[in-house]
Structure 1
Amino acid sequence: MVDVEEKSQEVEYVDPTVNRVPNYEVSEKAFLLTQSKVSIEQRKEAAEFVLAKIKEEEMAPYYKYLCEEYLVNNGQSDLEHDEKSDSLNEWIKFDQELYNELCKKNESKIKELNEKIQKLEEDDEGELEQAQAWINLGEYYAQIGDKDNAEKTLGKSLSKAISTGAKIDVMLTIARLGFFYNDQLYVKEKLEAVNSMIEKGGDWERRNRYKTYYGIHCLAVRNFKEAAKLLVDSLATFTSIELTSYESIATYASVTGLFTLERTDLKSKVIDSPELLSLISTTAALQSISSLTISLYASDYASYFPYLLETYANVLIPCKYLNRHADFFVREMRRKVYAQLLESYKTLSLKSMASAFGVSVAFLDNDLGKFIPNKQLNCVIDRVNGIVETNRPDNKNAQYHLLVKQGDGLLTKLQKYGAAVRLTGSDRV
């Protein structure tokens, strides 16, 4: 709870409008430039988009970072030579004249905003006006991609006597800087601060936005179970358009839902979700992951691997949050579908199993061998007879041991309780 005296001194609000800074689309498109598995056409289109936004939003600091650090350190060399296209250096190259022009615009705007802050402080204007002026300057730094100055300047507004809600908005803007640069350690730190503020007095709208932010963070760090819980819930209440698009949230919810949910929840929360169904026809990535989800649920094994490869290419690789988890996702989804099929059989021939998936016996034999030794699949391969034998754990035996363990725990608690009661009785005597 916020201290009563402190709360009475807070300014009720600053401008509640949530500005889309920094522009998440710039970051997402820039990521595509580093991916050699993405088509040349997509990368060229992404380069044009990024350059246009850099000019439109006067992003001098980001332009310099993009050309001199990001593209150099994140795979540009894989893209520089292609017989079918120009070099990436021809699409995005550092233009000193453009950079100087953008810097002049930045200097002019920053000077204007600083002068406004100085005037407000000299005129001894209220905390509200001063806080809003600092936020305006901080958001401009965020817009142009100047992370350090944005965080420092937005932090100054937190020292003003603004409401908890306004402080949450500022911290979420700072967190978006981390998402923009895909610095998840930074994001984690800022979201922890946001969560602490929300516990002191965040309203429903800000709690809802925090849920989406934290869900995407969980997605990025491969905590798919928590991400599914948050992102699936966000589908009906999504408002965080400053962080990502609704189509992206729908795709993230589908990916994590498929990965973690049991059949019943998968059907009700993902396959039959009205929010997802309304977007499938217009969202290519969602079409791929939805087809994969339905093929698993319907046991359409012949279509499963083609849709898995399609999801890998159309959903996982182009996404800056999912890209690093792409191989892990594909591996685990292969294990999941093998386990589902084997669950219905005591023994199954390798030939019929390979035929069901539309792969060769050699491929299936090799792939199953990646999961069996570490007990990720409860089966063994009899190569002499060409069959797979399941060896499910003895559930009754496991239940018996669990019952004994729980009974021992209950007896221990009862003995402690009895001793405590006897001690209390002796004290009274």
Structure 2
Amino acid sequence: MGDQEESTPGYLQLCMLRFRLTIPEFENDQDLIAQIKDGVARWHMAPYYEDLCKEFGWQIDEALLKSAREANAKKLEELDKTAGENVDPEENCGSTAWKSKLEYLCSIGDRKSAEALATEKFEDLTLDKTKRTDAAFALFRIAYFHGCDIKGMGKAIEQAKELIEKGAGDWSARNKLKAYEALYSLGVRDFEKASKLFIEAVPTFESYELLDFSSLVRYTVVACTIALDRTQLEVQMRKGVMAQALNAPQERPFKMFYKSFYQCRYSDFFQHLARMETDLKLNPLLNPHYRYYVREMRLRAYAQLLQAYRSLGLEVMAAEFGVSVEFIENEVARFAAAGRLAVKIDRVAMRVICDAHAEGCPAAAQQRAHLYQTIVKKGDVLLNQLKKIARVIDY
């Protein structure tokens, strides 16, 4: 797997670095700027560098730009020459050299030219559906790399799905689609769908042109921890390839994040959630959702704790989560007022009281209420039967 991961294009990392510069605390961060310029020089990204200078108001390094442009011109000339020499008149589509040219245009950040070529090939009905599917995947990667353009990603997914549903591509194309669509589902905050697709993609992952395996594993943890119930979460995280991946030292923070939630170690969970919040905030795909994610995970943790109690002291609850009583009181009150937690707060007794008959009540409380009603009903039936027996005996 290590050799495959090396095939993940190095320039893709610039998407994350570029996004960080848009966050106030990283504005004009010289280390980040240096890393980006190093990448531009390494991959000769003249078009991408020009876009960066316009976006951030950088003064253009003329020597860097000239060198990159010359390298681009030389390489594109070679690719065009190769394409001309390898045209096969027996094929409707000619040679597949356009794929190499498309990959190169993507690697230098020339979005306009890359989109034009990929769109041309996708719309070319003389091409077989497999190659048109490759073009659709390329359109997705272009949109993903250039600012996580959700609209563009969604359009590309629909294009690829339409072709695949019509019989385009082999098992590999269908397998790739899972990773692509999972990533898109994260971007539109459909965590449930994303979790299912990531779970399916992990064991047979081969979309290294899109992201590396480590990123796939981390996205899977993010999606599954919020979308799956506690039992399903543990089952999926302990399955074959996923379990093996999470044992790697670099994935330990993500393993501890889901583990602390599953094992009800809420104080640890809040600490891991805070680190996760930072990771999500710095991710261009997940940044729009990081506040929602953190809020919903806190809610899940509160509901998970409260489902075991009819009432719980605020001090005890605060101690469980490693926060102040005031914080936990305000949090629970806000969720209760919004109808997200079926509880009430007794501020005199300083306790959280579960409303066992309310819609949305934690599962254990609902089960207790149902059990009570069942016992009462069965008790009435038993009393009626005893009365009938008593009348027979008296007779």
**What's the TM-score bracket when you normalise by the shorter of the two chains?**
0.7 to 0.9
Aligned residues of 2:335 and 2:341 also touching (Cα < 8 A): yes
Tell me which residue corresponds to 1:16.
none
Structure 1: gaps of 5 or more residues: 1-18, 73-88, 400-429
For 1:307 and 1:133, locate their aligned partners in 2 and report how far apart those are by CA, in whole Å. 47
1:53 aligns with 2:39: yes
Partner residue of 1:153 out of 100, 117, 133: 117
Tell me which residue corresponds to 2:209.
242
For 1:150 and 1:100, locate their aligned partners in 2 and report how far apart those are by CA, in whole Å. 21
Aligned residues of 2:140 and 2:156 also touching (Cα < 8 A): yes
Counterpart of 2:353 in 1: which secondary structure?
A: strand
Tell me the percent identity.
29
Tell me which residue corresponds to 2:127.
162
For 1:283 and 1:47, locate their aligned partners in 2 and report how far apart those are by CA, in whole Å. 29
Write the letter of the residue equivalent to 1:220.
G
Partner residue of 1:355 out of 319, 324, 335: 319
Tell me which residue corresponds to 2:264.
299
Following TM superposition, by how much is the alpha carbon of 1:385 offset from its aligned partner in structure 2, in angstroms?
A: 1.6
Write the letter of the residue equivalent to 2:354.
T
1:26 aligns with 2:14: yes
Tell me which residue corresponds to 1:138.
102
Aligned residues of 1:225 and 1:256 also touching (Cα < 8 A): yes
Are residues 177 and 370 of structure 1, via their aligned partners in 2, closer, same or farther at CA, if it must alter by over 3 Å?
same
Aligned residues of 1:37 and 1:317 also touching (Cα < 8 A): no
**C-alpha deviations, 1:139-179, integer Å up to 9, x for none?**
32222111121121233334263322222112111211011
Partner residue of 2:240 out of 270, 274, 279: 274
Partner residue of 1:189 out of 151, 155, 162: 155
Are residues 249 and 44 of structure 1, via their aligned partners in 2, closer, same or farther at CA, if it must alter by over 3 Å?
farther
Partner residue of 1:333 out of 276, 297, 302: 297
Are residues 385 and 167 of structure 1, via their aligned partners in 2, closer, same or farther at CA, if it must alter by over 3 Å?
same
Tell me which residue corresponds to 1:216.
183
TM-score, normalised via structure 2 length: 0.81
Q: How many residue pairs get matched?
A: 353
Write the letter of the residue equivalent to 1:139.
E
For 1:392 and 1:94, locate their aligned partners in 2 and report how far apart those are by CA, in whole Å. 66
For 2:158 and 2:54, locate their aligned partners in 1 and report how far apart those are by CA, in whole Å. 32
Aligned residues of 1:127 and 1:160 also touching (Cα < 8 A): no
Tell me which residue corresponds to 1:86.
none
Aligned residues of 1:231 and 1:249 also touching (Cα < 8 A): yes
Please tell me the root mean square deviation across aligned C-alpha atoms, in Å: 2.7
Following TM superposition, by how much is the alpha carbon of 1:191 offset from its aligned partner in structure 2, in angstroms?
A: 1.0
TM-score, normalised via structure 1 length: 0.75
Aligned residues of 2:93 and 2:126 also touching (Cα < 8 A): no
Partner residue of 2:284 out of 298, 307, 320: 320
Write the letter of the residue equivalent to 2:336.
I
For 2:253 and 2:311, locate their aligned partners in 1 and report how far apart those are by CA, in whole Å. 32
Write the letter of the residue equivalent to 2:305.
L
Structure 2: gaps of 5 or more residues: 1-6, 359-365, 371-395
Tell me which residue corresponds to 1:99.
65
Aligned residues of 2:342 and 2:354 also touching (Cα < 8 A): yes
For 1:38 and 1:287, locate their aligned partners in 2 and report how far apart those are by CA, in whole Å. 26
Tell me which residue corresponds to 1:409.
none
For 1:54 and 1:303, locate their aligned partners in 2 and report how far apart those are by CA, in whole Å. 40
